[in-house]
Amino acid sequence: MTDVSNAAGAIEDALLGLKALAPPLALPFWQTISAQLKLFPQQTLAAPPPIPAIRQPSRVMPSGIVFALTCNLELVRDLTTQGRDLGYAVVHVRESNELIERARVRVPSAVLIDMQDRSPEMMLRTMAAMRTLPGTENSTAALLESAAGPVPEAIATHAGASLRLPNGTNVDVIAAAVGRLIASRPQQTRVLVVDDDPTFGQLVLAVLGPRGIAARHLTDPTKIFDTLEELNPDLVLLDMMMPQAHGLEVCKQIRANGKWRHLSVLFLTGQSDIEQRIAGFRAGADDYLVKPVVNEELLARVEVRVERAKLMRDRADRDALTGLALRRAFIQQLEARIGESKRFKRPLSLALINLDHFKKINDQYGHLVGDHVLAAMGQLLGTRLRTEDLRGRWGGEELVLGLPNTPAPMAREVLSRLLDELVHTPFKTDDGRQFEVSFSAGVAAYGEDGETTESLLRVADTRLYAAKQAGRKRVA
């Protein structure tokens, strides 16, 4: 495999040398290509040696941790076996307190809660307590319904449950659904591999997958922008030489696109000469990997680049006080969700939230107390709801929510529950004076109220104004 890769690299070098030459002067280059091509038959006729650089793991390593809160030992045993094959580990917990204590030590990717032995409100308190712990705000939840009946959808959404499974669901279905839930987490690292070689692409996916990285292989670079919209990756691994388009040109197009110009791009190539590296960097590449790629180097380069990109993105996109997305970042996320609602004909609700009498709180108790209220509201929204729900600070005391797969009546019920929780949260000044905080909200629904960000915001703002005119402390 290494000899073939070296020969391919030599051919690539020779082909690049043909660009500026007239036919008579190109003869030495064609002779080089002919000599290198003779290497391929003798390499391919022999039994192929083991691939040392990128190989299929002998077993699937856990890419996620699932806490199973249940007293059903048979379910735990079967789910553990199925989960191992699907790439996640299962940790059995019997009580809510045990789940909280384990989450202090190890953050779960998801929590499966068996509702057979607990009430919806107990489940809500458990999830609320767990998601106040550092790192757990992105832990998602699945509910296994009890024989007594389903959990009300508003309570499930309020608690952050993205999945509800009917009582009696087969363990195979449960295991697969939990696996999909882990894979769909918003914070999961996503990588797009653009390479015309199907075998190489699949081998790269085999290396990245066990590390919890969701990777997709694209063999046709002309479809890159459609794929970027679908996947929204953190990084692109881009082959230099492809028949449909040269990697340098693809990279330049990415850098010229306003939406994707900051996306991390790593070049893949069989070449190792300095001129091509310089050309890659000038085209906008962040890094360079020479084939054959070593597993450890591939993982290290990908993880470092993704971590750096996420850090920079968080600094630019997140409000420091509330921890919620800033307006620009929220709009980008919302437009992606609107696109999904349009493609798959799914409901979506948008809510504008305004803290009641916030100026009075600032004037009466001071701006530090006002900041504390905003931070508490950010924590409430950040530790409730589902991982796929969008949360943002619109400006001042105004916040915004995007709730995918949620019709307007359900969104209003969820917001009413959040309002009730906020009203019953004690707030105190430094000298011990206690005061109440509430909010008003307006909800707009995709489809019936509009199909664009602007139209939904306009309707939500009108309903927010109506809620304030009607006496505040309500959802319209």
Mean pLDDT per 10-residue interval, the chain, length 476 residues: 52 53 51 56 42 34 77 94 87 93 87 90 89 79 88 88 90 90 72 89 81 82 87 87 87 88 85 79 85 82 79 75 90 90 92 96 92 93 88 94 95 95 91 92 96 95 96 95
Question: What pLDDT, on the 0 to 100 scale, is given for residue 43?
Answer: 44
Is 322 within the bounds of a domain? Answer: no
Is 68 within the bounds of a domain? Answer: yes
Q: Is the peptide bond before 292 cis (omega within 30 degrees of 0)?
A: yes
Question: What pLDDT, on the 0 to 100 scale, is given for residue 6?
Answer: 56
Nearest to 215 by CA among 237, 186, 198: 237
Residues 307 and 374 in one domain: no
Question: What pLDDT, on the 0 to 100 scale, is given for residue 8?
Answer: 55
Is 58 within the bounds of a domain? Answer: no
Question: What pLDDT, on the 0 to 100 scale, is given for residue 76?
Answer: 94
Give the domain extent around 173.
64-183
User: Where does a domain end: 317, 345, 360?
Assistant: 317
Question: What pLDDT, on the 0 to 100 scale, is given for residue 142?
Answer: 92
Instruction: Give the whole-angstrom CA distance, residue 284 versus residue 307.
Output: 19
Question: What pLDDT, on the 0 to 100 scale, is given for residue 40?
Answer: 52
H or E element, residue 337: helix 327-344
**Helix, strand, or coil (residue 397):** coil
Residues 194 and 309 in one domain: yes
Is 208 within the bounds of a domain? Answer: yes
Instruction: Write the CATH number for 269.
Output: 3.40.50.2300
Instruction: Give the whole-angstrom CA distance, residue 6 versus residue 135.
Output: 45
Question: What pLDDT, on the 0 to 100 scale, is given for residue 31?
Answer: 57
Nearest to 280 by CA among 237, 313, 244: 237
Which DSSP state fits 162?
Answer: E
Residues 33 and 110 in one domain: no
Is 55 within the bounds of a domain? Answer: no
Residues 194 and 310 in one domain: yes
Is 56 within the bounds of a domain? Answer: no
Residues 140 and 233 in one domain: no
Residues 171 and 219 in one domain: no
Is 365 within the bounds of a domain? Answer: yes
Tally the domains of the chain: 4
Residues 395 and 308 in one domain: no
Residues 237 and 369 in one domain: no
Residues 444 and 375 in one domain: yes
Question: What pLDDT, on the 0 to 100 scale, is given for residue 193?
Answer: 92
User: Where does a domain end: 155, 183, 211?
Assistant: 183
Question: What pLDDT, on the 0 to 100 scale, is given for residue 271?
Answer: 74
Question: What pLDDT, on the 0 to 100 scale, is given for residue 186?
Answer: 60
User: Where does a domain end: 317, 352, 371?
Assistant: 317
Is 476 within the bounds of a domain? Answer: no
Residues 269 and 293 in one domain: yes
Question: What pLDDT, on the 0 to 100 scale, is given for residue 32?
Answer: 57
H or E element, residue 235: strand 235-239
